[in-house]
Amino acid sequence: MYLNRKRTNTFFEEIGFRKDAKNALVYTNEEKLKKQKGVLSHMISQINQNYMQGKSLTQISLPIKIFDSKSLLEKVALFMKTAPFFLDQAAEIL
């Protein structure tokens, strides 16, 4: 089965990529790039720490901010919202 070369694939354009003059994909979503700004520096520091401690360089932990976009204030507010419920549940057990 051959791909129809006349038909353009818009999948990458829909998720924030565009093709440059050399047909390379360039990510254009500046908002998401700003959110992930510190990930590379964190990974480099993890590699450095593992190397200095004599650990394997393949065991690098990714920062939590990759997976959770909530700010610290949002996390604290969520905890404060749900804390009374859990405290009541704990009081009933004791």
CA–CA distance, 25 with 15 (Å, rounded to integer): 11
> Among positive and negative, which fits the CA dihedral 42, 37, 29, 69?
positive
Examine residue 4 and state whether it is found in any structural domain, yes or no. no
CA–CA distance, 6 with 62 (Å, rounded to integer): 40
In the chain, the percentage of residues whose pLDDT exceeds 70 is: 85
CA–CA distance, 49 with 53 (Å, rounded to integer): 6
Examine residue 47 and state whether it is found in any structural domain, yes or no. yes
Examine residue 62 and state whether it is found in any structural domain, yes or no. no
Structurally, how many domains does the chain consist of?
A: 1
Question: How much is the average pLDDT of 78-89?
Answer: 85
3-class DSSP assignment, residue 76: helix
Two tokens at 42? Answer: 């964190």
Question: How much is the average pLDDT of 15-26?
Answer: 82
Give me Rg for the CA atoms of the chain: 22
pLDDT of residue 3: 46
E runs forming strands in the chain: 17-19, 25-27
Question: How much is the average pLDDT of 68-84?
Answer: 83
Examine residue 2 and state whether it is found in any structural domain, yes or no. no
Examine residue 63 and state whether it is found in any structural domain, yes or no. no
Question: How much is the average pLDDT of 68-76?
Answer: 81
Residue 50 structural domain: 11-56+69-93
Examine residue 61 and state whether it is found in any structural domain, yes or no. no
